[in-house]
Structure 1
Amino acid sequence: MVYGFWVSRCLQTMAELGLADIIGDVPKTVEELAKATDTHAPSLRRMLRLLSGLGVMVKDEGSQRWGLTDLGAMLRKDNPGSVYGSLMAHGHMLSWQAWGDLKSSLKTGAPSVEKFMGDTFFGYLAAHPEDAAIFNGSMAAYQTLNAPAVVNAYDFSWAKRIMDVGGGTGTLISHILKSHPLAQGAIFEMAHVAAEARARLASMGLKERCDVVDGDFFASIPKGQDIYILSQILHDWDDEKSLRILSNIREAMHPNSRLLIVETVLPGDNTMHFGNLYDMAMLVLVGGQERTEEEYSALVAKAGLKVARIHPTSMPPSVVEVVLA
């Protein structure tokens, strides 16, 4: 555990160098890889040796060429569910400095990354489009894996209109619409993300079935939807800001509407869980938090809502189904 960040840094550097894409389907010698990445071949070989021991790379002893395992192929940009964007985001966008100053967050309760970004995390992304593209790509790749699990866990067939609030570039809503061809969808997003969402939906042939609405979920949310989705949204915010979002959705809901909160539900203490790691990331990066079932129930109750049921998925997040209280 102590040396865990050594491994993550090697994976991040592999992504930064673009090694997985350079190798692709054709294994390369270390000299070819060093030339393509402008690195020192003997030193690069040492990192490849480590990565091969982790099951990411594989060396053919006869040809002395390095290739990718199925696990390593997940670092390719063109691989559905690629972890390339996640590695780049956590290895590049000041995440290292934020984690290095974890003690500051523990003392103040505020995200330490703001000291290095000079802005909030999302404010920084809005002002740095290249970094925003990396981050949005990492979220889209994660949703590529997460979306089918959500569709399998919850029955969307009854809903005619479904809005993904803060739905990014449309990965989740597109999976839902493809599985339920009679439904109409909508994405509610900030303007700079909405533009990318429109282009992506058009490329998937969903332009006529899915609207993209510019807006701010802290201000108001469009009415008239059967299902509102908040996927990986509330964990970005503290209780006060989360309550503002929930209250706006409460105002938009009709009596039969459902709110689906797609988040990792923490199991509690004395349990090692992926969500506990992400909970700390939310602290140092954005000032948000992951929550337990009891914490979600208490939070939505303040907005005049109640948890009806929690639907587990095959991925870490669950679907927390919420109705009017």
Structure 2
Amino acid sequence: MVYGFWVSRSLQIMAELGIADTIGEVPKTVEELAQASGTHAPALRRMLRLLTGLGVLVKDEQSQRFGLTELGHMLRKDSPGSVYGSLRAHGHLLSWQAWGDLASSLKTGQPSVEKFMGDSFFGYMSKHPEDAAIFNGSMAAYQSLNAPAVVGAYDFSTAKSVVDVGGGTGTLLAHILQSHPNLRGALFELPHVKAEATARLSNLGVAPRAEVLEGNFFEKIPSGHDIYILSQILHDWDDERSLKILTNMREAMHPGAKLLIVETVLPGDNVQHFGNLYDMAMLVLVGGQERTGAEYTALVEKAGLRIHRVLPTYMPPSVVEVVPA
């Protein structure tokens, strides 16, 4: 564990330099990769040796060429199940600075990254589109993995309309609509997301049944839908702000409506779980948190809602079905 960040940093730099994309399906020599990536060939050779030992690359001794293993292909931008976006986001300087000052968050309870951004995470990203594109790319890739798991875990067939609140560019909504041809959907997002979301929904072939609604979930959420979704939203916020979102949600829901909270539900204090790591990431980056089942129960009840059931998926997040109390 002590040296774990050496490994993650090596993978992040490989993604940043585009090494996996340069190799693609055709193995390359060190010299070819150094020229393409603008790196020092002898130093790069040492990096490639490390990655070969980690099972990311494979070297043909006769030709002295490096190719990608099955694991290595996941570092390509266009590979199914690609982790490229996650590597770029978690390898971003701001992420390193935030984790490097973890002690500050532990002492204050506030996100350490704000010291380096001079603003909140979301405030900074709204003013720096290049950085935002890296982090948004990571979330889109993560949603691409989560979306099939959500669709497989929950039955949407009895609903007529679904709205993904804060659903980014529409990855999850598109998966749901693709799986249910008779369902209509809406994406509720901030105004600056509309153009990209509209294009993505069109590219995924669901635009005729999907509309993009502009707004802010801290102010008002559109009413009249059968199913509402909050996917990877509440973990971005503390209890006070999360309660505001849920209160607005309750006001929008008709008596038979359902809310699906798609989040990692922590199992308890004495269990090793991926969510515990992500919980700390939420602390240092945005000031949010992952929550236990009991914490979600208490939170939704304050908003006049109750948890009906929790459906696990094959990915870390569960689908928490919530109904009016």
Report TM bin, short chain.
over 0.9
**1:53: Cα distance to partner?**
1.5
* Aligned mates of 2:87, 2:212 — CA distance in 1: 29
Paired position in structure 1 for 2:127: 127
Paired position in structure 1 for 2:219: 219
Structure 1: unaligned runs, 5 residues or longer: none
Greater shift, 165-174 or 49-58, is seen at 49-58
Q: Secondary structure at the match of 1:151?
A: helix
Return the letter of the residue paired with 1:319: V
Q: Secondary structure at the match of 1:185?
A: strand
- Across the two proteins, how many residue pairs are aligned to each other? 325
The question of whether the paired residues in 2 share the 8 Å contact of 1:111 and 1:287 is answered with: yes
**1:75: Cα distance to partner?**
1.1
1:1-325 aligned within 5 A: 1-325=1-325
What are the Cα deviations for residues 106-165 of structure 1, in whole angstroms up to 9, with x where unaligned?
011000000001111111111111111111111111111111010110111111100000
**1:93: Cα distance to partner?**
4.5
The question of whether the paired residues in 2 share the 8 Å contact of 1:187 and 1:210 is answered with: yes
Q: Secondary structure at the match of 1:71?
A: helix
* Aligned mates of 2:81, 2:213 — CA distance in 1: 26
* Aligned mates of 1:245, 1:93 — CA distance in 2: 30
Please report the TM-score for the alignment, with normalisation by the length of structure 2. 0.98
Please report the TM-score for the alignment, with normalisation by the length of structure 1. 0.98
RMSD, aligned CA:
0.8
The question of whether the paired residues in 2 share the 8 Å contact of 1:93 and 1:131 is answered with: no
* Aligned mates of 1:80, 1:165 — CA distance in 2: 26
The question of whether the paired residues in 2 share the 8 Å contact of 1:168 and 1:194 is answered with: no
* Aligned mates of 1:321, 1:93 — CA distance in 2: 37
What are the Cα deviations for residues 190-231 of structure 1, in whole angstroms up to 9, with x where unaligned?
112222100111112211111111111000000011000000
Return the letter of the residue paired with 1:101: D
Structure 2: unaligned runs, 5 residues or longer: none
Moved over 4 A (4+): none
Quick one: percent identity of the two aligned structures?
Answer: 77
Q: Secondary structure at the match of 1:213?
A: strand
Return the letter of the residue paired with 1:71: L
Q: Secondary structure at the match of 2:198?
A: helix
* Aligned mates of 1:180, 1:3 — CA distance in 2: 46
